[in-house]
Every structure is written in C-alpha cells, then in structure tokens.
C-alpha cells in the first residue's frame, strides 16, 4: 500500500492510502461521518483490478483536524480536498464512492469542480442534504442528529453513544473485530468536528440533477441512519441513476455484504470507464 500526505482545501493535510495498479481505473472511497478510511478494509480485493484510493476526511483519522468550525462548513473546502487527490495522484476514469456523509463530499466536489474528471458516482447510504436543507423525513431513527450524546465532551457518555450508533449502522451485528474497529475509528473524531460537519448547508439534489454521468445508488432497505426513501429519491434525481436497494441490510452495505458490494461496484466502475473512453474517442 502506498501512503500519501496531500494538501487539500486551505492547505490542510489529508492522509490518503493508495493500492493497486497506478494505471488502472480508480475508485476513490470516501467514508462517512466520524469514520475512517479503515472502514473500507473489505474492499481491498478490488485492488487486483482497480486503483483503490481512500482518504481520511479532514478532521478524521490521520488527516489534520483543526478545532475550528470554519474548517468544515464550506462546500468549496470539501470539493477542493477531492480535487487535490485526483489531481496529485493523476487518477483516471475515477468513480467516487461516498458512504453516508461521503455523498455530501461528492456533491461538494461536483459543485466546485464539475464532472469532467470523473467517470461516475456511487452514493452508499448517502445523505442528500445537510444543514438548513435537511428535512425530517430524510433521517432514520438512529440518525446522529437525534442523539446529543454523540457530541458531548463527557467521554463515558460519548463512548456509550458511539458504540450504540455503530451498532445501529447494520441490520445484523458485524464480526466483533470489525465492529470494534469502527467504534475505535469513530472515537478518534472530536465532538467539535462531529458537530461542525453539519454546520454548513448543502442540498445535493440540484447537483445530482445536473450530473450527466452514470450513478449507482446503493442503499439498505433497513437503514436506520439515512432513511431508505433518501436512496430512492437520489436515484430518481440523477438523470442516469440506478437504485440497488438491499433487503436485510442497514447503513453499511460494504461491510455487511462485502462480496456483493465489491461485485456491484466493479461492474459499475467498468461500465463507467467504458463510457468515458467512448466519450473521449
């Protein structure tokens, strides 16, 4: 695995992992709220066919984490982060894969830098709005917006709430090691950053409406964090969108059924790369 430190929006240093053939079509994996690039561990086999790149979002994991709301509330900063990774690593035929909050990051990139440098997008349990644009019907019962203890500085309460949140992310319990890793990754993110991620306002739907490349929306039918109707809405909003709605699956399809997820993602990425090649010819 190759490790990079890349300067994103405002010069903030991002921790980026990179594996697979450097000349292969790229999958840029963008994790969700209060998570970490380790969430994508089960997608490592895709590096046999693709260049698999994952980052720790600003404020998360090994990336820099300013304790200032201004580092997190601007659409352009999130968009610049993704642009910097694509540009510095020379990624090609790139598919952006965004889990949960990661869909907001994808929308920020397209809103700021357009769609020409990417081949397609895959929101996974993705949000479609934050801040003032978010409506109650978009949130499941386990949404982090509904639990104030996820933002407390009382570590005992924070840890209990975090463990509960990660448990609510899946339809069936994850293997103990994976569950523990996700809880630990979540605890690395400070309460200030957790709150700050929802300070900005962005409605992804106008961005999705203008996106003319392929989009695969993967959503769990039993998602208690981001309501399944959000996935249906997103798929219907993309001009070339397709919904893959999984039964007996919660908010983390890539961890709950990695084999199915990897198969669907690979097929979509190959198709998107072919279309991009045809457009360039």
pLDDT of residue 279: 82
Q: End-to-end CA distance of the chain, in Å? A: 33
**Domain annotation for the chain: domains and CATH numbers:** 2-280 (3.40.50.1820)
Cα–Cα distances (Å) from 188 to 45, 78, 155, 264, in that order, read: 26, 20, 12, 31
Predicted confidence (pLDDT) per residue in 133-153, tens digit:
999 999 999 999 999 999 999
Whether the model pTM is above 0.85: yes
User: Distance between CA atoms of 159 and 173, rounded to whole angstroms?
Assistant: 18
Q: pLDDT band for position 164 (50/70/90)?
A: very high
Cα–Cα distances (Å) from 18 to 105, 131, 213, in that order, read: 19, 32, 24
Q: pLDDT band for position 275 (50/70/90)?
A: confident
Predicted confidence (pLDDT) per residue in 15-32, tens digit:
999 999 999 999 999 999
Q: With 80 as the cut, is the pLDDT of residue 281 above it?
A: no
Predicted confidence (pLDDT) per residue in 97-128, tens digit:
999 999 999 999 999 999 999 999 999 999 99
> What's the rounded mean pLDDT across residues 91-96?
97
pLDDT of residue 280: 78
């Amino acid at each position: 695995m190759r490790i990079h430190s890349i300067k994103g929006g405002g010069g903030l240093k991002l921790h980026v992992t990179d594996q697979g053939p450097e000349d292969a079509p790229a999958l840029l994996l963008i994790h969700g709220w209060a998570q970490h690039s380790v969430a994508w561990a089960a997608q490592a086999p895709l590096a046999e066919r693709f260049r698999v790149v994952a980052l720790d979002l600003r404020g998360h994991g090994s990336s820099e984490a300013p304790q200032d709301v201004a580092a997190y509330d601007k659409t352009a900063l999130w968009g610049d982060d993704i642009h910097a990774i694509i540009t510095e690593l020379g990624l090609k035929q790139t598919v952006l894969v965004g889990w949960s909050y990661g869909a907001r990051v994808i929308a920020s990139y397209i809103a700021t830098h357009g769609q020409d440098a990417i081949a397609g997008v895959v929101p996974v349990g993705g949000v479609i709005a934050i801040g003032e644009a978010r409506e109650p019907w978009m949130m499941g019962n386990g949404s982090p917006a509904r639990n104030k203890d996820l933002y407390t500085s009382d570590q005992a309460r924070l840890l209990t709430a975090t463990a509960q949140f990660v448990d609510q992310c899946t339809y069936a319990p994850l293997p103990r090691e994976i569950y523990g890793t996700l809880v630990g990754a979540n605890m690395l993110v400070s309460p200030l950053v957790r709150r700050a991620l929802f300070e900005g306002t962005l409605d992804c739907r106008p961005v999705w409406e203008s996106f003319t490349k392929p989009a695969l929306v993967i959503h769990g039918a039993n998602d208690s964090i981001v309501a399944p109707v959000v996935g249906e809405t997103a798929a219907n909003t993309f001009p070339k969108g397709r919904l893959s709605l999984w039964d007996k699956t919660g908010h983390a399809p890539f961890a709950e059924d990695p084999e199915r997820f990897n198969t669907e993602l690979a097929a979509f990425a190959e198709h998107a790369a072919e279309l991009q090649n045809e457009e360039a010819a």
